[in-house]
Amino acid sequence: MNITIKSPLDMHLHLRDEDMLKIVAPLSAETFCAGIIMPNLVPPITTIEAIKNYKQRIKDAIGDEEFEPLMTLFFKKDYTYEFLKEAKEHISAIKLYPSGATTNSDGGVSSMDIESLRETFEAMSELEIPLCVHGETNGFVMDREAEFGSIYEQFATSFPKLKIIMEHITTKNSVDLLDKHANLYATITVQHLFITLDDVAGGMLKPHLFCKPIAKRYEDREALLDVALSGHPKVMFGSDSAPHPTHKKECCGCAAGIFTAPIALAALTSLFDTNDALEHLQAFVSDNAQNIYDYRPLTKNIVLIKEPFTVRQSYADVVPMFAGETLPWSIK
């Protein structure tokens, strides 16, 4: 048995830079035809020159693979309309990070006050530039995304023409928001469809399953599964594949991030097959994203076959999700 996925897209992807970029970028480029590239480098991507330079480094790293990096800017409140108008042809979205919410986000937004964001949001609305948001407060770790829900609602109602992507949602609360506001959409990761907090810390701590937003409760995972497996048109796959070297994961002060690029399509196919939902896999990993972003990707067909795939223990110094485990589907 096999299945063909047409032009798979990863709508939330960390490729890092320098040596790490050279390790991980080819792994995404092998099985996806494009990806939304996160801008939280050090320093973050905030200029057109930085966008162009980073995009070229990505292309150099992937070599001859057919893959389009869809670039983003790191959100700043002082972006002018004129700057954004010039930047639009080079980017697919702008990514907003609350300050300190995740890796390399210290330069993010410290206040979500609507008036302080209005000028930039209105410019983005007029120019039709989507806003991607890491939606967490600084509250108790299990409540941060749910607490951000009211902020999403303020954004959606105050700027109805602004297309807002709730990134890597993890809660039932976020799922419920999808059908309340026409301009709210979401990405969902591999890991949040598979794991809960029990898998991370219910027994021995598993650092390679630690990410932000942290995995939540069983009822939250079920809500994510319901919308992903049903082909809900407002959700799309975004891996949030976030590689870190082993010494930054297996240590005191473990870095947040799960590396899923090499296993994403095989794992998703296995999950959708197990749940008798293979007919909705194409929408989740490509069609919905094309509609949401009004993007037409290059043609690239990936064939998966129902044969066991044993996941490598590591890629250079990066440990993937399901390392050493066997998945029932593999890339042909």
- Which residues are identified as catalytic? 240
What's CA 272's distance to the chain center, in Å? 19
Asked if 30 contacts 332 with a C-beta cutoff of 8 angstroms, the reply is: no
Closest by CA to 223, choosing from 181, 170, 183, is 170
Task: Give the angle 196-265-292 at the CA atoms, nearest 5°.
Answer: 85
DSSP 3-state of 173: helix
What one-character DSSP code corresponds to residue 241? B
Give me the residue label for tokens 């959708």: 272
**Is 48 within 8 Å of 12 (Cβ atoms)?**
no
Report residue 144 as tokens. 């941060």
Helix (H, G, I), strand (E, B) or coil at 267: helix
Taking a C-beta distance cutoff of 8 angstroms, is the pair 10, 32 a contact?
Answer: yes
What are the structure tokens assigned to 102, written together? 């995740």
